Amino acid sequence: DKATGMGVRNGTDKDAEALFKCFRSLGFDVMVYNDCSCARMQDLLKRASEEDHTNSACFACILLSHGEENLIYGKDGVIPIKDLTAHFRGDRCKTLLEKPKLFFIQACRGTELDDGIQADSGPINDTDANPRHKIPVEADFLFAYSTVPGYYSWRNPGRGSWFVQALCSILDEHGKELEVMQILTRVNDRVARHFESQSDDPRFNEKKQIP
């Protein structure tokens, strides 16, 4: 793309198709927008935040694009992810107050590559907090990134991105029986264990990824 200097995201159509089917099957009203400018993304999410969500159980937004740490690309440049999600803060989007606001972000967060290592999974620690009458304006947000800060996010041109493939697969299998953190734990495990890059260029061969 001349405006951003970024390449075509081959395989992202597979992601969009899989996500549409998956979230429709879970009862979501799904809207799809392609090749948006930064201003268009801002406008769409601002409009979504201003809708009446009184009868909705939650809100989900999925961004498929190029990215850098804390930034997402539109077709004409980059925009901070926080600028997009801020519309849904509790003081701005009252009808989603105390309801889950889920943001799934399939994009690179840097250029580092993960070589992987032979090891068993470690324990997962949970942190609980007592409920309070007064809650932070950014409560009830969940951000699920396709990769950790600083790292490249892999995508197969024929099948789609590793993260979205795993997310849709786990949601199809367990989306109506497990809560979201259990879903994401399984997604992380599947991406970490079942995916590895294959390339004729040794710099990009046998690389791993963890959401």
pLDDT digits (tens, 9 = 90+) for 16-74: 999 999 999 999 999 999 999 999 999 999 999 999 999 999 999 999 988 888 899 99
Q: Count Cβ atoms below 10 Å from residue 83 Cβ, excluding itself.
A: 14
pLDDT greater than 90 at residue 1: no
**Distance (Å, whole) CA 27 – CA 160:** 23
H helix runs in 63-161, sequence order: 81-85
Q: Residue 76 corresponds to which tokens in the numbers above?
A: 């004409």
Determine the longest span between alpha carbons in the chain, in angstroms: 57
Choice among 22, 38, 61, 66 that is catalytic: 66
Among 67-81, 135-149, 186-200, the range of highest mean pLDDT: 67-81
Active site residue 93: no
Whole-angstrom CA distances from 31 to 51, 117, 123, 166 are 14, 39, 37, 21
pLDDT greater than 90 at residue 86: yes
Instruction: Pick 108 or 93 by higher pLDDT.
Output: 93
Choice among 22, 38, 93, 108 that is catalytic: 108
Residue-wise pLDDT tens digits, 42-53: 999 999 999 999
Go through the domains of the chain in sequence order and give each one's CATH number. Answer: 12-115+135-204 (3.40.50.1460)
Report the share of the chain in percent with pLDDT over 90: 48
Active site residue 66: yes
For residue 119, the SS3 value is: coil
What is the separation of C-alpha 151 from the centre of its chain, rounded to a whole number of angstroms? 15
Secondary structure (DSSP) of 89-104: STTT-GGGTTS-EEEE
Instruction: Pick 160 or 114 by higher pLDDT.
Output: 160
H helix runs in the chain, sequence order: 12-25, 38-50, 81-85, 162-174, 180-194
Average of pLDDT values for 81-87?
95
CA angle at residue 86 from 82 to 89, to 5 degrees?
140
Q: Count Cβ atoms below 10 Å from residue 153 Cβ, excluding itself.
A: 21
φ, ψ dihedrals at 113, nearest 5°: -115, 140
- Which residues partner with 71 through β-bridges? 68, 80
Q: What is the pLDDT of residue 13?
A: 87
pLDDT greater than 80 at residue 206: no
